[in-house]
A and B are shown apart, each in its own frame.
Chain A
Amino acid sequence: MLTNKMNHSPSRIYLQLKIDVIAIGLLILALCTRLYKLDEPRHIVFDELHYGRYVSLYTKGVFFFDAHPPLGKQLLYLAGSIAGYDGNFTFDRIGTPYTDNVPVKALRLVPAVSGSFLVLITYFLMLELSLHQWTAILAALLVLLENCFLAQSRFMLLESIQILFGLCGVYCIIKSTKRIGLTALVWLCAAAVLLGCCFSVKYSGLYTYYLSLFLVGRHIWLQLDQIKSGTRLLFSALWRFAVLLIIPLAVYVSVFYMHLSMLPKAGPHDSVMTSAFQASLQGGLASITHGQPLHVAHGSQITLRHTHGRTCWLHSHAHVYPVRYADGRGSSHQQQVTCYSFKDVNNWWIVKRPDQASLAVSRPPDAIRHGDIVQLLHGITSRALNSHDVAAAVSPQSQEVSCYIDYNVSMPAQNLWRVDIVNRDSEESTWDSIRSLVRLVHVDTGSGLRYSGRQLPAWGFHQHEIVADKVLSHQDTIWNVEEHRYTKADDRKERERELVTAEMIPTAVTQLTFWEKFTELQYKMIAHAPDAPHGHMFASEPAEWPLLVRSIAYWLSPDSNAQIHLIGNIVTWYTGTISVVVYSALLAIYSVRKRRACEDLPPFVLNKFYETGYTLFLGYWLHYLPYFFIDRTLFLHHYLPAYIFKILLLAYIMDHIYLVLQLHEKTKHVTNLFILCVTIWLSYIVLTFKKFSVLNYGNVDLKENDLMSLRWKDTWDFILHKKI
C-alpha cells in the first residue's frame, strides 16, 4: 500500500491517495496484452462484420433488426462517434481491409478495455469471496493468460463487455449480502444496474442475473432463522427483490428507448416488422402511406399484408390452378391466389359490400366495421376472393383459396368473408389501415384466410400458398391493410388506370408510442428464428467445449499465413475441466462423510467450501447447461461466460487443497511441494499462452511447420494458403 499525503494550505485539507499495487499491476499487464497493436490487422475480423455494420447504421440513424439487445452495439457506436466515424464503410465480408475513415482502434478499444478490467474484477471478486490474496492473484493471472479472452477482447465483439458487466454485478451482490442497512441497498442498486446492462448486451447475460437472484434468495433464506422480527424480515426480502426486479428491467427498457430513438430512419431490415412499425419510421413505407385514408370503406383499394412472420402480400394473377396436381389430386381450376413477397400491382384488392354495385366510395365513406361481411375483388382481374371445399394445392388438409371464375359448373361462388378485427377496442370498431389486425373468416365454411408457409411449385411461380384453414387462432391468419386509397371512378378501365398510376399526397404521420414499438420489437426478437447456416465449418456442440475440441478461425491474412483463431489456453482449459470434476467429487465425499457424522474438516473450511464453491460451481453450470437445449448453431465463444466461472472455481480448488494440506501436521511439509507444483504449472501456462498468442495477434507469418507445431489436437483446423 502506498499512501501519499499532500499538504495544500493552512486549512489542512487532506487528500489521501491509496493505491492497491497488485491491482494496478494486474491492470497494467492486462492493458498491455489487450491493447498491443490493437489496430492490427486492419481487416474485418469475424463478427466485426455484423457489429461494425450495426455501428455504421447507428451512425446514420437507419433502423435495423438484430436478435441481440442493443447496449453492446451502442457502446461501440459511442466510441466510434467520439473518434469521428462517419458511417461510410460497407462491411461486406470477413477479410475486407478497412479504409482510413474507420477508427478501428477506437472501435476495438471498448472490448479491449473491458477485457482488461475483467482481469481486475476477477481479482476483487475472489478477494470478496474471502479467499487468500494469492488465490485471487492466481485467478486474475489465469484470466490474463487465457488466449480465448485475449482473442475475444481485441476485436469488436461483445462477450468481454457482457462478462465484465456480469462479474461486476455478482461482485456487488456479494458485497451487498455482507453489509446491512443503507450500504447494502447501495451495493444492491449498483448490482441491479450492472446486471441490467449485462443482459442488455447479450441475452445470455440473463443466466448471470439468475445466479444473482439465487444468491440474494439464499441470503434471505439464511436470515429466516436468524432474525426474530417477522416484519423486518419481510421488509428486507421485499426491498431486495423489488430492487432486483425493477432496476434491471428499467435499464433494459431505457436501453431500448435509446435504441429506437437513435434509429428514426427506414432501412433494409424494415420488412421484418409490421406495417404499423414501418410506417412510424422516416422514409420507407411511411413515405408511401402518409396521407392515405384511415378507415377502410366500401370501395377501398387496399393491399393486404401478412402481419407476422414472412413478409408478403395477398396476391392474385391471371393464371389458374392446374387441373391435376403432380400427385393426382384435382383442383378447382380457378384463378390462383398466392402470397407474394414483392410489391406489385397485382397485390391490390377492392373491398366491396355484397349488396352494393357501384364501387366508387360514397361521401361520407361507408366504413367497414368489425363483424361486417365483405367481398374482396382483385383489382386487375376484378374477380372475387373465393374459397370452397377443395383441398389446397400444397396443404391438402386445408381449403383452397381462389379468385372465382364462373365455369358454369355446379360450383357456386362462395365469396363472402367476415371481417374479424383482432385488436379491436369495441365491437363497433372500424377497420383501419395499417393499425387494425384482421382475420378474414370465410362465411360458408368458417375457415380463416391463412398463409400456409409452403411454396407453390413452378406453376405458381414459387410464390407462397394461401389457404383457408379451420384453426383460426394461428398467427398466420392475421393480416393488415398496408397501402390504402379510395376508389374514385366506377368504370373498370378507369379503376385499372387509377391503380397503375396512383400517387399519394401526404397529410398525416403514423405515430406509434414507444411501448407499442418496444413490445413489437421484443416479440419479433423472440420469434425470430435465426437462419444461421447449419453445418458451419467452425460450429461446435456444447459437449465438445470442455475439452476444446474445436477452435474458430476468425481471420486469415490475404497475403501471408498470419491468422487469428479463437482458441483457449489448453493447460488452463484442461485443469479447469478437472477442477469441476474434483469439486463434484469432493462435494459428494463431504456430504457422505457428514451424513455419517464424521467431521474431517473444521467448520470454517467446510463452510467456505460450500459458500464460495457453490457460487462458482452453480455459476458455471447455469451458464453452460442451457446450451444443451438450444436448437441453434453454436460456437465456442458461447462457452466463455461459463468458462470464466470455471477458472474461478479452478483457483478456488487450489486454495482449498492448500488449506487442507495446511490443516494436518503430517501433510504440512507437502505444502511447499504443492506450491512448487503450482508454480511449474503456472509457468507452463505462461509458455502456452506465449506460444499461442501468435494466433491472437495475427501479426506473424506462420510457416507450415509453425502451424503444425501449434496443432496440438488433430481436430483443430488451421488454414494454409495454397502454394502457387
Chain B
Amino acid sequence: MTHKLQGNVHESNLFQSKTTIWWITFSLLCGATFLTRYYKVLEPDHVCWDETHFGKMASWYINRTFFFDVHPPLGKMLIALSGKLSGYDGTFPFEKPGDKYDGARYQGMRLFCTTLGALVIPLTFLSIWEMTKSLEATFIGTLLLLCDVGFMTLNRYILLDPILLFFMSCSIYGCFKVSTLTNDGLLPFSPRMLSWQIFLGTSLACTMSVKFVGLFVVLFVGLRTVADLWNILGDLSKPVKFTITHLIVRTLTLIVWPFVLYVFFFWIHLTVLSKSGNGDGFYSSGFQARLEGNSLHNASAPRVLAYGALVTLKNHRTGGGYLHSHHHLYPAGVGARQQQITTYTHKDENNRWQIKPYNRERVEGTVVVRSGDLVRVTHAPTGRNLHSHRERAPLTAKHLQVTGYGEDGVGDANDVWKIVISGGKDGEEIQTVRSKLMLVHYLQACVLTTTGKQLPKWGYEQQEVSCNPNLRDKNALWNIEDNVFDDLPKVSFESYASGFLERFYESHAVMFQGNSGLKPKEGEVTSQPWQWPINYRGQFFSGSTHRIYLLGNPVVWWTNLAFLIIFFLVYIINSIKEKRAEAFGVSRQVGEGSLLLNAAGWTFIGWALHYIPFWAMGRVLYFHHYFPALVFSSMLTGILTEYLLSSVRSYLSPELGKTAYHCIIGVVISTTVYSFYLFSPLAYGMSGPLASEPNSTMAGLKWLESWEF
C-alpha cells in the first residue's frame, strides 16, 4: 500500500519536473526568438525590397483609394491597420527600394510584421509537441527554424510573408490540436472541440485571405481531417452516426465558416476602398460606378440604346480600353492606308461613336437598337465609319484589319456590322452598361475584338483592334458606357452599379487573370523551384551601406535537405520491413517509434504540398515562395533526428546510449547556434566590400559561387 503510494508520489514528481522542464525550454526559445527578431529591427530606416509595394498599398488603404493587386486583401489590410494605429498618416510615397523614411512612421508596421513573424516559432514548438509529445524532437525542430537566418530576414519587414506564415502556423497547430482531441475521443459538440475547430477554421480563412498559396495549407488540413474521420469511422464500437456528426461539424467549422470569413474580408476591402484610384481601369463599368471620384459615379444615362445616340464602347477584357480612333492613318505597309482604330484606356473625346441604321443616315423619333440589328458605327469627331476588309491586321496575322473609312458617315458595304447581345435572343433591347455586345462584320463574318497587343509608335502605343474570324473570341465583348441621347429619360448609374457579390466575383476574375499574366519574359532570369531547397541563390533586400541579403542558413537548409532524403529512405525501408514481417506472421508493434514516424510522415506531406505544386506553375517564381515548405521541413528534421537517435540508442547499452545521445544532441545544438552567429550579418546588415573580395568580413562564408552578398 505504502509502496504504491510512494510510487505515485514519485511519478507525480517526475511529471512535475517534466512540466517544469517543458516550460523552461518553451520560455527559453521564446526569449531567444524575440531577442533575435527585435534586435536592430528598425534598421535600415529606408524602404527594403517589396516594402515598396506593401507600404504603398497600406497607404492606399489609409487614404481609401481603390487599387488592383494580385493578392487577396487581408495581409495588406492588417498592415494598414497597424500603420493607422501607430500613427502613420498614409502620405509617404514608398516610391522605390532604398528611399529614406525621413520621419514617416513606419515603425509600427514593421514591428507588427516582426511580431507576427516571431510568433511563428512558439507556434511551431507547440505544433511539434502536439504531434510527438517528445521534448527533444520539439526542441530541435524549433531551434532549426529559430536559427535560420533567411527565415528571420523574411519575417522582419513590411511584407505579406510574416503574416502568411503566422496564420499558416496557427492552422498547423490548430489542425494537430483538433486531431489529438479527436483521438482522445472528445465529442463533436463539446465546447473544447468546437472552439479549437473554430480557431482552425478562422486561421485557414486568414491564411487564404493573405495569399492564395494559403490554399496548400487548406489542402493539408483537408487531408488531415479526412484521415481523422477515417480513424473515427474505423472505430467499430461507435455508430456510423457518430462519424456523420463529426463530418457535419467539420463541414460547418472548416468549410462554411472560413468561407463566410473570407467573403467578409473582401467585404471590408471593397467597403474601405471607396474612392477612385489607379486600379479602376481593370474593372468593368458597373464596378467603377461604385467608386467616388470616378466619372461613372453619380452619372446618369438612358437605360437603353437608341439610334443616333453618342456612345463609348468599353472592351470587356480585363484592363480593356475604349474603342478609339483619331486623325491618323495606318502607315504604308500596314494594310490599307485608312484611319487607325485602337483601344485606349483613358477617357477622351475621340472615344465617342454614333450608332446608325445600316441603310439610313437618320431615324425619325426614338427607335431602340435591338440585338440582331444591322448597324453602322460612325466615329463622332472624324465622321469615319467603323470598317473592316480582307487585309491582315497590323500585329495579328490571322485577324482582319479594322479601319475608319468614308466621309461624314458615307462609306461602303464593309461598314455594316451586326450588333448582337452575347447569350441573348434576337430582338432584345440593348442596354447601357449591362448588355455584353458583339459586333459581327456582316460581309466578312468576323467579330470586332482587341488583341491587347501594343501598337508601335505610329499607333501611339495604344492597343490593336482587329476583326477575328473565330467568333468564339473571349475578348470580343463590349459594353456601352456613356450613352448620350436626349429624348430618352435618364437613369442614374447607381442602378447599374454592381452589387457586392458581383464585385466579389469580378475581383477574383481580375486577380486570377493578373496572376496568370505574371509570366517570365524571354531571357529573364527567374528563380527556379529546384534552386530553393539547396539554397542556391538569395535575394537582396537592401543594398548600399546597409546590405541585407535573404539567404537561408546553409547548415539548417542542407541538414533539412538531407533529412528529407533520409526520411524517404527510412519510410520505404520501414514499409518493406512491415510487409515482410507479415510473410512470417509477425505482427507489427506499435510504439513511440511509430508515433514519431507517423508525425514525420505528416510533415513530409506538408512539405510536399507546399513545394511540389510550384514545379507545375507557369508564373514568375521567387525564392521566398519556399519558406512555408521550410517550416514543415524543419519540423521533419527535428522529429526524424529524435527518431533516429532513439533507434540508435536502442541498439546500445543504456549507459553508453545515454552518453552518445546527449553528446549528439549537444553537437547538433551548438552547430546550429554557431552557424546562426556566423551568418547573422546577412540579416542584421553588412557593410564594407562584397564577399567576393578577400578583405571582406564575409569572405570565408561565400560557400557557393552563386551567392551574391
Contact = CB atoms under 8 A, between A and B. Distances in A.
Interface of A: 221, 224-228, 230, 395, 451-454, 471, 473-474, 476, 533, 535, 537, 592, 595-597, 629, 631
A533 B398 CA distance: 10
A535 B470 contact: yes
B234 interface: yes
B582 interface: yes
A9 B706 CA distance: 82
Interface string B557-596: 0000000000000000000100110111000000000000
Nearest to B397: A533
Interface pairs A-B: 8 shortest CB-CB: A453-B523, A629-B616, A225-B582, A453-B522, A224-B579, A225-B583, A631-B618, A537-B470
Contacts of A535: 470, 473
Contact of B233 (A453, A454, A533, A596): A596
B526 to A, nearest CB: 11
Nearest to B461: A326
Contacts of A226: 583
B450 to A, nearest CB: 13
Given A533-B398, A595-B233, A595-B234, A454 B579 contact: no
Nearest to A472: B705
A579 B102 CA distance: 67
A454 B524 CA distance: 10
B583 A476 contact: no
Given A595-B230, A596-B233, A629-B616, A225 B579 contact: yes
Contacts of A451: 523
Contacts of A225: 579-580, 582-583
B236 A452 contact: no
Interface of B: 230, 233-234, 236, 240, 398, 469-470, 473, 521-525, 576, 579-580, 582-584, 616, 618, 706
A476 B523 contact: yes
Contacts of A533: 398
B523 A452 contact: yes
A362 B440 CA distance: 73
Pick from B469, B473, B524, B582 the residue with the most CB of A within 10 Å: B524
Contacts of A631: 618
B208 to A, nearest CB: 21
B522 A454 contact: yes
Contacts of B521: 453-454
Nearest to A227: B583
A221 B582 CA distance: 12
A101 B473 CA distance: 41
Given A221-B579, A454-B522, A471-B525, 4 more contacts: A224-B583, A225-B582, A230-B580, A533-B398
Contacts of B525: 471, 474
Nearest to A229: B583
A224 B616 CA distance: 34
B236 A597 contact: yes
B240 A596 contact: yes
A474 B520 CA distance: 15
A592 B233 contact: yes
B583 A228 contact: yes
Nearest to A453: B523
22 contacts: A221-B579, A224-B579, A224-B580, A225-B580, A225-B583, A226-B583, A227-B583, A452-B523, A453-B522, A453-B524, A454-B522, A454-B523, A471-B525, A473-B706, A474-B525, A533-B398, A535-B470, A535-B473, A592-B233, A595-B234, A596-B236, A597-B236
Nearest to A538: B470
Nearest to A465: B523
Nearest to B239: A596
Contacts of B584: 228
A535 B451 CA distance: 11
Contacts of A471: 525
A631 B520 CA distance: 13
A273 to B, nearest CB: 20
Contacts of A230: 580
Contacts of B398: 533
A227 B580 CA distance: 9
B232 to A, nearest CB: 10
Nearest to B232: A595
A597 B240 CA distance: 12
A712 B618 CA distance: 36
Nearest to B616: A629
A240 to B, nearest CB: 16
B238 to A, nearest CB: 10
A473 B705 CA distance: 10
Contacts of B580: 224-225, 230
Contacts of B616: 629
Nearest to A452: B523
A500 B672 CA distance: 66
A476 B521 CA distance: 14
Contacts of A474: 525
A715 to B, nearest CB: 8
Contacts of A452: 523
Contacts of B469: 537
Nearest to A533: B398
B241 to A, nearest CB: 12
Contacts of B233: 592, 595-596
